[in-house]
Structures are given as structure tokens and as C-alpha cells.
Amino acid sequence: MITTLDRMVLVSYVRSYAIVWTSLIGLFVVIDLFTHLDAFMSRPGSFPAIAAYIVRYYLFHVPQVFDLMAEPIALLAATFTVSWMQRNNEFLPQLSAGIPTRRVVRPVLFAGAVAVALAPLNTELVIPEIADELMASRDDPEGAKAQLLMGAYDTSGVHIEGLAGYRKDRRVDRFCATFPESSPSGMVHVTAEEAVYIPPGDDPLTGGWMLTGVGEPVPSPLPTNFTLLGTGRAFLKTDTADYDTVRRGGTWYIYASTVRLRELLGADDTRRQTKMAVLFHTRITRPVIGMLLVLLGVSVILWNPNRHIALSAGLCMGLGTGYYACVIGCTAIGNSALVSPALAAWIPVMIYGPLAFVAFDMVHT
């Protein structure tokens, strides 16, 4: 049953969360804007047009920043809420009425769980939809300028790269495809003066690369996903190596949803399986770690009701720093195959889990 006091605590948490969110996200926007102001101002157009583009640019990048800072924001909001309750002696009347401390802070923990859940929703529903905007250059949002291509492997084992790419047309100059040894023609290189990616559709010649100016020699026998269309023209069918994948390079999958990652883990390509598996398991454990972080932060604040709010915020910043260091370190050892991907993702849970529950059990009621 939600009481009037519970609603008061929930409103206090929402207010703290809004303040912390605005402060941290706004700080990032201001620092990044003044750091790259020259890149924005070098664009042609009037000042209102440049200002409109800056607003649009950061509207797309705010979800990416929030994806990095979601858990510390939830932790700081919980810290400020509990600290202000202590500062205003809001605990004393409820404790005098026989209400346990854990019951008083239950709305804070509930609101913290909801706030932590916003990060996976952002990762699954927002980030994949705006991945192209996140990869766009500040001074070339239309994608008309030549871009450096990182290259990528298709799930069929074909490696695709090129000299330069043009995002607006999905076009690659000096295209090169390297077929693996398992292909019918063995390991061979196919080059073309130009290649344009055609998105999947009903036509057989979609979902791959249309090559123009194909160089000699042409592989024989032809790979199953390679079709000659005439003199100097060919079509290369691909499963995952579209233009955005080739442009983003080997880490393109970080913008994919968890469902998409699960599909990629079942593919035949084993070159990035370890890193994708670590990312997949990390996304599963992320809400658990985030909630443990909030629980630990609230418990630390409740240990000493006389602690100054600035010191409480500093302690939570230290917890957030330790959280990032732990997750980054475990991800690194998982990517290096020193431990299994699942273990690398669950190590932070095994570290923060006992700490959080022991700390919460030590809270005076």
C-alpha cells in the first residue's frame, strides 16, 4: 500500500533525479560543444541554421551519454533524496512511530529500480534506431564527404573494405572483398572501382553490394554469394556487412539491440564472437548491477545520519567510480578470453551483491 509519505518520498526522488540528470547531461553538452565549436561553425549557412543543427546533433547524442551515465545518475538521485530526508529530520518522526528504516527508504529503492530500468530500454529501443546519427561527423551530417572506412567481416566470412565511403549514397570507392579459404574458390581478393550497397528487398539483387568496374582475375569457381552480371559488373550478397557495418568497423555491434546480438552469436563468424558474447551477457547483468549499486549507496548513507550531504555525494561518486572500474576491468579480461564471457559479466554482480546486502543489513532500524 502506497501511503502519503511514500508519495512524498517518490516525488523527492523524481525531483532529485531530474536535477542530477539535467546537471550531468548539461555539463557534457557544454564541454563537448565548446571543445568542438570550430567543427560546428565551419559548416556553411547562417547562424540560425548552424544553431538548429547543433540542437539536432545533441538531441541525438543525449541518449548515448545517458547510456553511459544512467546508473550513476540513479545512484546520485537516491543519495540526495536520503541525505535531504536526514538533513530535514524526516526519519525521526517515522522511526518514533515504529516504522523501520528499511520501510522508510523502500520508495527510494523502488524509484531507483525504475530509474535503472531506463538504461536497458534506452539501449534496446533508442540507440539502434539512431546509430547512423551517432556515427555521423559533426561537420558532415548529410554524409556527402568521403569517409574513412574501418572494414568489416560478413557472417559468411567475407571481409569487405574500401578506400573511401560516402554515407549519403552508400557508395564505396576502390572496393575490395576477400573471400575466406572455405569458399569454393579459396582465399581470393575481388576488387572493383566502385560498389553501392542495396538494402534487402524482394528483388534477388538486393541485400548486398552492386559492383562496377570489377578487376581481373574473376574467381573461379564463383563463390555462392557472388554473381557476375556482365562485363565489369557483379553482385555480392551479404548478410550483415552493409554500408553502416563497413563504415563503423569491427565494433559496429555495440549499437545493435540485445536480440540482434543473440542472432549474431548464432552465426558462423567466429572473429568477434568473444567480444559480442561479453557484451551480450553484460547487458543481461547491467540492471542487476545498477540496482545493487543503488542499494549499496543508500545503505552507506544510512550508516551515519549526521554525515554532511556533500560528503555523502562524494562517497557515492567513489562508488560510481568503483562501479565503472569493475565493469571495464571485467569486460577487458572477458574480451581477452582470460575468463568466459558469462563469468566476466557476472563478476561485478558477485562483488557488489554481497557488499550491498551486507551493507543494507547493517542499517540501523
Q: Tell whether 132 and 158 lie within a shared domain.
A: no
Q: Give residue 308's Cα distance to chain centre.
A: 35
Contacts of 255 (CB under 8 A, 6+ apart): 127, 128, 131, 134, 135, 248
- Given pLDDT bands bounded at 50, 70 and 90, which one contains residue 204? confident
Residue 142 lies in a domain: no
Predicted confidence band at 253 (pLDDT cuts at 50, 70, 90)?
confident
Res 141 pLDDT > 70: no
Q: Is 144 inside a domain boundary?
A: no
pLDDT of residue 274: 85
CA distances from 146 to 40, 143, 150, 164 (A): 18, 8, 13, 6
With beta carbons less than 8 A apart as the criterion, state whether 107 and 9 touch.
yes
214 and 288 fall within a common domain: no
**Same domain flag for 11 and 128:** yes
Q: Is the pLDDT of residue 273 over 90?
A: no
pLDDT in tens, 33-91: 888 888 788 777 788 888 888 888 899 999 999 998 998 899 889 988 988 888 888 88
Phi then psi for residue 6, to 5 deg, are -60, -45
Q: What's the whole-number mean pLDDT along residues 104-122?
A: 93
Task: Report how many domains make up the chain.
Answer: 2
User: Per the domain annotation, does 279 fall within a domain?
Assistant: yes
> Does 59 map to a domain?
yes
237 falls within a domain: yes
pLDDT of residue 139: 62
Do both 78 and 165 map to the same domain? no
Give domain status of residue 68, yes or no: yes
pLDDT at 12: 93
- Residue 197 pLDDT level (bands cut at 50, 70, 90): very high
Contact (Cβ atoms closer than 8 angstroms) between residue 347 and residue 330: yes
Between strands 164-166 and 188-198, the pairing is unpaired
Asked whether residue 264 is assigned to any structural domain, the reply reads: no
144 falls in which pLDDT band (50, 70, 90)? low
Residues 240 and 285 in one domain: no
Mean pLDDT check: name the lowest of 225-239, 269-283, 322-336: 269-283
Q: State the average pLDDT over residues 196-211.
A: 89
Does 243 have pLDDT greater than 90?
no
Q: Do 19 and 131 have their domain in common?
A: yes
Answer with the one of 249, 284, 312 that is the final residue of a domain. 249
| Residue type at 224 in one-letter notation | T
Ramachandran category for residue 194: left, alpha or beta (phi over 0 → left; psi -120 to 50 → alpha)? beta
Q: Is the pTM of this model over 0.85?
A: no
Structural domain range at position 31? 4-137+273-361
Q: Which residue has the higher pLDDT, 139 or 165?
A: 165
Mean pLDDT along residues 327-337: 90
Mean pLDDT, residues 96-119: 90
- Per-residue model confidence (pLDDT) at position 267: 59
Residues 60 and 129 in one domain: yes
Q: Tell me, yes or no, whether 277 and 132 share the same domain.
A: yes
Task: Specify the pLDDT at position 271.
Answer: 57
CB contact burial 220-233 (16+ within 10 A = b; e otherwise): eeebebbbeeeeee
Q: Are residues 229 and 289 in the same domain?
A: no
Residue 223 has a pLDDT of: 82
Do 222 and 287 belong to one domain?
no
- Amino acid at residue number 148: L
Task: Determine the pLDDT at residue 244.
Answer: 77
Name every residue whose Cβ is closer than 8 Å to that of residue 191 and which is 6 or more positions away in sequence: 174, 175, 176, 177, 214, 215
pLDDT category at 269 given cuts 50, 70, 90 is low
pLDDT of residue 153: 83
For residue 250, the model assigns a pLDDT of 58
pLDDT recorded at residue 263 = 79
Q: What is the mean pLDDT of the chain?
A: 85
> What is the mean pLDDT of the segment spanning 186-194?
86
Q: What is the pLDDT of residue 63?
A: 93
Average pLDDT over residues 239-261: 78
Nearest partner of 208 among 189, 217, 195, judged by Cα: 195
185 and 303 housed in the same domain: no
Residue type (1 letter), 255: Y
pLDDT at residue 140, as a whole number: 61
The answer, yes or no, to whether residue 143 has pLDDT greater than 80, is no
Quick check: 64 and 4 in contact, CB under 8 A?
A: no
Pick the residue with more confidence: 281 or 219?
281
Which range among 244-258, 293-307, 326-340 has the greatest average pLDDT? Answer: 326-340
Residue 231, pLDDT score: 80
Same domain, 113 and 191: no
